[in-house]
């Protein structure tokens, strides 16, 4: 599949057109950013690791009939994806308290949530991706109530599937962020990526952080943590 013009460049990925107007190439960069772009850096090898990790998760979810934009890998850091009309919302699911939830509600880090928390954030860099609810999404005409319901159901299913997948490999799926898009026929399917940039993973026994928090908080061992996730999810 031939790579044509660059159509979008984000903080961690680039999107290219292809000769097929229904498909795009998603290229994963080594660039890392945090705190809405205030912290920037490079994680050597991240592009290839996150592309491989995302493809493993996307294929695994497809085996559970969770539709997503992944078609196939084209190179170590490029995947062929379905072109979608992306909904500008970040859907977050949380199983354990940390990050912005810990700060916003003054909760203890590490508290297990008996009932996972589903949150929506509006994708808007100028506003710092504010927390919204389904009524804001509808009023701002970014998603209809039934679309938000579908996003919730899909995120809850993905949580159940990936939580036990990670548990079997000695890890806790702490929280994660998903993005969804519409196909031409109006179906809502999973898009973007699923990687240590967009999820929090802790070692089950030691609670060692194995995700982008190591970069966010200068904890060291960032590349090793990303590589460890890839190694652990590659083994059966």
Site stretch for ligand TMP (CB under 6 A), options 40-48, 93-101, 157-165, 222-230: 93-101
Cβ contact 11:71 at 8 Å: no
> Whole-number minimum distance, CB 39 to ligand TMP, in Å?
12
The only residue of 14, 177, 209, 214 in contact with ligand TMP, by rule CB under 6 A:
177
Of 67 and 124, which CB lies nearer to ligand TMP in the complex structure? 124
Rule CB under 6 A: is residue 198 a binding residue for ligand TMP? yes
Q: Which residues in the chain belong to E strands, given as ranges? A: 3-9, 13-18, 23-28, 31-34, 39-42, 70-75, 78-82, 85-86, 89-96, 112-122, 131-132, 171-178, 180-182, 188-190, 199-203
Residue 14 or 200 having the CB closest to ligand TMP: 200
CA distances to 76, 117, 180 from 7, in Å: 20, 34, 18
User: Which residue, 83, 186, 193, 192, is CA-closest to 144?
Assistant: 186
Question: Tokens in use for 209?
Answer: 């952080």
- Judged by CB under 6 A, the residue of 32, 84, 199, 229 near ligand TMP is 199
> Given the complex with ligand TMP, which of 45 and 99 has the nearer CB atom?
99
Instruction: Determine if 99 is a binding residue for ligand TMP (CB under 6 A).
Output: yes
Q: Is there binding between residue 95 and ligand TMP (CB under 6 A)?
A: no
R_g (Cα) of the chain, nearest Å: 17
Residue of 61, 175, 210, 233 interacting with ligand TMP (CB under 6 A): 175
Q: Using CA atoms, how far apart are residues 155 and 109, in angstroms rounded to an integer?
A: 23
176 near ligand TMP, judged by CB under 6 A: yes
The site for ligand TMP (CB under 6 A) is made up of 92, 99-101, 129, 175-177, 198-200
């Amino acid at each position: 599949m031939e790579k044509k013009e660059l159509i979008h460049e984000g903080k961690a990925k680039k999107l290219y057109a292809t000769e097929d107007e229904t498909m795009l190439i998603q290229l994963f960069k080594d660039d890392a950013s945090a705190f809405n772009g205030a912290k920037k850096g490079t994680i050597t090898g991240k592009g290839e690791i996150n592309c491989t990790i995302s493809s493993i998760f996307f294929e695994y979810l497809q085996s559970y009939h969770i539709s997503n934009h992944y078609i196939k890998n084209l190179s170590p850091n490029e995947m062929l994806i379905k072109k979608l009309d992306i909904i500008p919302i970040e859907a977050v699911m949380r199983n354990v308290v940390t990050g912005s939830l810990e700060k916003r509600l003054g909760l203890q880090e590490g508290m297990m949530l008996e009932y996972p928390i589903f949150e929506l954030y509006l994708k808007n860099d100028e506003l710092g991706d504010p927390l919204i609810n389904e009524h804001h999404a509808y009023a701002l005409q970014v998603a209809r109530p039934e679309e938000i319901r579908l996003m919730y159901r899909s995120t809850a299913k993905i949580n159940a599937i990936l939580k036990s997948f990670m548990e079997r490999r000695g890890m806790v799926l702490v929280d994660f962020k998903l993005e969804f898009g519409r196909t031409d026929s109006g179906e809502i399917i999973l898009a973007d990526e699923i990687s240590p940039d967009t999820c929090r993973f802790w070692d089950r026994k030691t609670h060692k952080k194995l995700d982008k928090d190591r970069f966010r908080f200068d904890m060291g061992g960032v590349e090793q943590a990303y590589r460890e996730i890839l190694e652990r999810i590659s083994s059966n």
